[in-house]
Each structure stands twice: as C-alpha cells, then as structure tokens.
Chain A
C-alpha cells in the first residue's frame, strides 16, 4: 500500500491521514461536501426552472410584492444547513484541542529561518537536553527521490502509536508549525508556548511548511517528521544522547 504523504502533481484532494485528527478532518470535509452538493443541486435546479419559466414572459407574477412563506423557507433552510455543519465541526475542533495523557513532549522552536527541536524528556550523558536544529536541504544537494523545498537535513523522529505533545514557540518572529498528514497547524509565537498533540497510526515520513509569513526565507523552512517503530526511536535517542 502506498500512501500519499507528499504533494503530487495535479493532486486535487487532501493528503492521506496518519492521525485520528486528520481522519476526523477528512470525515468533516466529506460531511460538508454532502451539504455543498445538496445546496448546489437545489440552487441550480431553481435557477434553471426560474429562467425557463420567466424568460420571454413579461407579465409573470406581475402582482407579486412579497411572500412570507418563501421568506421563512429561504431563511430557515440555510440556517438549518449551517447548524448541521457546525455541530460536527465544533465537536472535531474541541476534540483536536485536547491533550490527554501524552507519553512524550517535544518542543518545537521556530527561528528565522529554521526549526529547532528539543527532546527535553531525555538528557544526554552530560545532562544536557537532547536538541538539534533542522535546515532545508539546498537544491544543489538534493538526491534522486528527495522532495524539493520539503526535505531537511535533520528531521523530527517520533515513535508510532504514541501520544506526542508538541510545545510550539518561536524565538524571533511568528512562525507556524504545520503537518497536513497529521492535521496539525499551530502558530509559533515568541514568548508563548502553544500545545498540540498527535497520535501517529502508521510509520512514514510526513512533511510540512512554515505557515505564517515570517520573512524572506519563509518558504525555505519546511519541517520533516519521521514516524518510526519504538525500537528505531530508542536507537535514535541513544545515538542522539551519545
């Protein structure tokens, strides 16, 4: 099975989900699309009928000033549609905000124009927190199969099937941390710590881009996330702590 985890040429739909949040977003998207199709059909049908009936008919409904029933219908109907869309939307919104029983905290700091990742639950042999920076892979260093403007030199490595809490902040100007496959997008604001969580359900490599205009190299600070098995994650941590 191949997953769509990177932007593809002419891709029209969302990337495949890797977390329950993004699955929820897909479901909401489909749900809202249903009402969209319904409204589109109804409006098109009515437009066609009206145009058909009233063209070349100068005297049609000459005496019609107002219609209370019609007013009630065209007020209530859109209100009902909006209500039907808002409930699943709010449920998803507030569920996505919950950070319950995280197993791991990773700090993400946005800087002009790179990201810094801190694994402060763990320390290296000298007692310092595990941290490193992540820069974009320059075009002339790209290899076959790499994604331009998305690949980085180092990536966030995280274990699969584990609740991860991200603490997102910035050190200079506002940035925004976003990973579409996981349904994450949160502002990185200097002086403030924002919290967001995820649960990755499959291993893979997920990409994201800074989503808040932060200066000339705003487009050149992507984030790359590798979701690996627990064994590989622990190997990575022990290598990092050397």
Chain B
C-alpha cells in the first residue's frame, strides 16, 4: 500500500509537524474535514536544511526518506507519515507519479532499501 492509498482510507488525519502526532482525526462518518469548528491547517514548516527559495531538494529528500522509512519500518509505522505529508505537500503530483513509476521499474536513482 503506497502513501496515496493510505490516505484513501476512510480515515485521515492532520498531523502536528513538530511532534508528528495526529492533531485531529476525521473519518468518513463525520460530515466533512472542512468543518470550521474542527479544521486545522497543517503544512510542512521551515526546515533548516532547506532555507532557500529553491525547495527542490526539500521535496526530493522527503520522498526518499518516506520510502526508506517505509522499507525499514513498514507502511503502518506512524512516524513515517511526516515524510509523506511533507513530500505530498511540496512535490508536484506529476513528479511523484514519475518517481513512483521509476521505483516500480527499479530505475529510481536513489537506493531505497
């Protein structure tokens, strides 16, 4: 199960980026995750490794880190999700699709295992 499929589950949550813990969890039973009473913004925060305008490596590093994390700890390991949140928020959808294809074909330039 890839990260995208993980989010496709009926339950999804927003995470606190400093602790990586879920702040609010929404399930399909609830009306909408966009309810003003419970809504919370969650987006990757400033990372001192990538202080520049150019955020290309911020995206790429988190994509690699997520797949390395999942390869070692498995899909269900909660702390891996912070990498997933970061790279999905930063990387264009086209890039992620291309990299997923490359990984499946064994042609991704970074060793994941």
Q: Quick check: B56 and A191 within 8 Å, CB to CB?
A: yes
The smallest C-beta distance from A101 to any residue of chain B, in angstroms, reads 7
**How many Å from the CB of A6 to the closest CB on chain B?**
28
The residues of A that contact B53 with a CB separation of less than 8 Å are 97, 186, 194-196
Binds B, one of A9-17, A59-67, A115-123: A115-123
Interface of A is mostly: mixed
Q: Does B23 contact A (CB under 8 A)?
A: no
Instruction: Write out the residue numbers on chain B whose beta carbons fall within 8 Å of the beta carbon of A191.
Output: 56
A195 touches B55 (CB 8 A): yes
Task: Tell me, in angstroms, the Cα distance from A67 to B32 when the chains sit together.
Answer: 79
B103: interface (CB < 8 Å): no
Q: Is the CB of B46 within 8 A of A131?
A: no
- Report A-chain residues with C-beta under 8 Å of the C-beta of B36: 230-231, 234
Q: Does A154 contact B (CB under 8 A)?
A: no
Smallest Cβ-Cβ distance to B87: which chain A residue: A120
- Contact mask A119-130 → B, CB, 8 Å, 1/0? 011110111110
For window 159-184 of A, CB contacts with B under 8 Å fall at 162, 165, 167, 169, 171
Given contacts A131-B93, A193-B59, A231-B36, contact A100 B43 (CB under 8 A): no
> Which of A103-111, A199-207, A212-220 is the contact stretch?
A103-111
Q: Which of B5, B12, B52, B89 has the most CB of A within 10 A?
A: B89
B94 within 8 A of partner (CB):
yes
> Chain B: how many interface residues by the 8 Å CB criterion?
34
With an 8 Å Cβ cutoff, the count of chain A residues facing the other chain is 40
What is the minimal beta-carbon distance from A70 to any residue of chain B, in angstroms? 44
Contact (Cβ within 8 A) B43 A193: no
CB under 8 Å from chain B, chain A span 214-238:
230-231, 234-235, 237-238
Contact status B43-A234, CB under 8 Å: no
* A144 smallest CB distance to B (angstroms): 33
> A105-B43, A105-B44 in contact; A235/B34 too (CB < 8 A)?
yes
Complex contact B55–A194 (CB within 8 A): yes
Please, could you name 26 A-B residue pairs with CB atoms under 8 Å apart, sorted by A?
A100-B46, A101-B45, A102-B45, A103-B43, A105-B90, A120-B89, A122-B33, A123-B7, A126-B8, A127-B8, A128-B4, A162-B41, A165-B43, A167-B55, A167-B92, A169-B92, A193-B54, A193-B55, A193-B56, A194-B55, A230-B36, A234-B35, A234-B36, A238-B33, A241-B33, A241-B34
User: Which 4 A-B pairs rank lowest in CB-CB distance, beginning with the nearest?
Assistant: A127-B8, A103-B41, A238-B34, A234-B34
